[in-house]
Amino acid sequence: MKVLVINAGSSSLKYQLMDPATRDVLAKGLCERIGIDGRLTHKVPAKDQKFEAEIAMPTHAEAIEAVLQALTDSDHGVIASMDEIDAVGHRVLHGGMAFTESCIIDDACIEAIKECIPLGPLHNPANLMGIEACQKVMPTKPQVAVFDTAFHMTMPEKAFTYAIPYEYYEKDKVRRYGFHGTSHRYVSARAAALMGRDPKGLKLISCHLGNGSSLAAIVDGKCVDTTMGLGPLAGVPMGTRAGDMDATILEYLMGRYGYDIKEMLTILNKKSGVLGISGVSSDFRDLESAAAEGNHRARLALDVFYYDVKKYIGAYAAAMGGVDGIIFTAGVGENAAGTRMAIASGLEYMGVKMDEEKNNTRGKEAIISADDSKVTVMVIPTDEELMIASDTAEIVSKL
Ligand code: AMP
């Protein structure tokens, strides 16, 4: 089955055409500057081919048309016609409490995604634009929504409840939701396979460390806690996002500088995290270089990041009553051996023993703990597109 995976942002749209059974990626690419002018980058991995073009994209519908044109082009296309696409899978950020798993997109599903807009005000409208564009351009293709929040819906009440007046949960659905769920779901299933264990009976901590970062505690293949919250601003410090902090800081800084809430949130979302501490960059490679050259704030930013990730690993081991496996994934987790070492060192007391040589790996599945480590530490490259394509194929095959 060939599935077109779509991840629509407000002015961009990423796509991948793949066969989830064989994991073959036939083509992938990116539409940018939608609503401004329009630019397409299209890649065919099997032929190492790249095609770039300026194409007018006043709306997401023209972007999807450009994608279909590229996929069927006589030079850089990979299919003869649109008929070869069996289904479309969409990444949707916020499924609120309505979605515990992926689902076929029908009118009720669209209504429910719309109802989640107040919870995901930046992403859900963009995701809906992607869905509506595909419905317009490919009206007969079945479409599936895969939610970033769905995997976390198994969290127990005690893990998702905030200690604020309960009516805000009852009336306004204020609770921990968590994100990166598709990634945590994928890597935790792969981890069980790599360990040769059934997910049942397994306690895992998944560390998705990228530009955005979150950790998840997973028991029996189900999420029991995660670091992000109502939105993706909570948890460990990130590239530019603050992570957990004392809400008093908002009042204090807003009072001192006259910021309104929008300005304050821009600071916390875009100017904080390791960028905010270091003043150097949000990119971990830049921070490592600057720290190696003696830049104190770059060193401090990395230390704060390592420390907070380590603290959450300890917290989740306590919450689960132990841990069998720790997973590192996403840009930093998959590539930065030094970061993994810095986080995992000092955890010997809970049975983590790293193997320096095995840890010297990048971007491929590997066990990086010593053979006699009680806790298996792993690198598992995430593949959210494969997960979206697999869910789509599974749901569509049952129609
Ligand atoms: P992601 O959001 O998953 O795409 O991850 C992006 C982050 O991964 C950026 O901050 C990059 O600096 C980081 N990253 C990618 N490769 C490396 C590397 N070799 N060492 C350290 N960080 C890396």
Q: What is the CA radius of gyration of the chain?
A: 21
Minimum-distance ligand 1 atom for the alpha carbon of 209: 3
Q: What is the pLDDT of residues 106-126, one digit of tens each?
A: 999 999 999 999 998 889 999
Determine how many CB atoms are found less than 10 A away from the CB of residue 353: 16
- Return the closest-CA partner of residue 93 out of 129, 119, 132: 119
Determine how many CB atoms are found less than 10 A away from the CB of residue 178: 29
Query: Ligand 1 centroid to 211 CA: how many Å?
Result: 7
Binding site per annotation, positions for substrate: 91
Roughly what angle, to the nearest 10 degrees, separates helices 107-115 and 123-137?
Answer: 160
Using DSSP, state whether 380 is helix, strand or coil: coil
**Residue 30, amino acid:** L
Determine how many CB atoms are found less than 10 A away from the CB of residue 43: 18
- Return the closest-CA partner of residue 88 out of 40, 131, 127, 27: 131
Q: Which domains does the chain have, with CATH numbers?
A: 3-147 (3.30.420.40), 197-384 (3.30.420.40)
Q: Which residues line ligand 1 (CB under 6 A)?
A: 210-211, 239, 283-285, 330-332, 335-336
| The one catalytic residue among 75, 107, 148, 225 | 148
| Residue 164 CA: distances (Å) to CA of 160, 168, 174, 315 | 12, 7, 9, 21
Q: What is the DSSP string of 302-345?
A: HHHHHHHHHHHHHHHHHHHTS-SEEEEEHHHHHH-HHHHHHHHT
Q: What is the pLDDT of residues 292-305, one digit of tens each?
A: 999 999 999 999 99
Determine how many CB atoms are found less than 10 A away from the CB of residue 229: 19
Using DSSP, state whether 67 is helix, strand or coil: helix
Mean pLDDT by 10 residues, the chain (399 residues): 96 97 97 96 97 96 96 96 97 95 96 94 93 95 97 98 98 97 98 98 98 98 98 96 97 98 96 98 97 98 98 98 98 97 96 98 96 98 98 96
Minimum-distance ligand 1 atom for the alpha carbon of 212: 2
Q: What is the pLDDT of residues 19-61, one digit of tens each?
A: 999 999 999 999 999 999 999 999 999 999 999 999 999 999 9
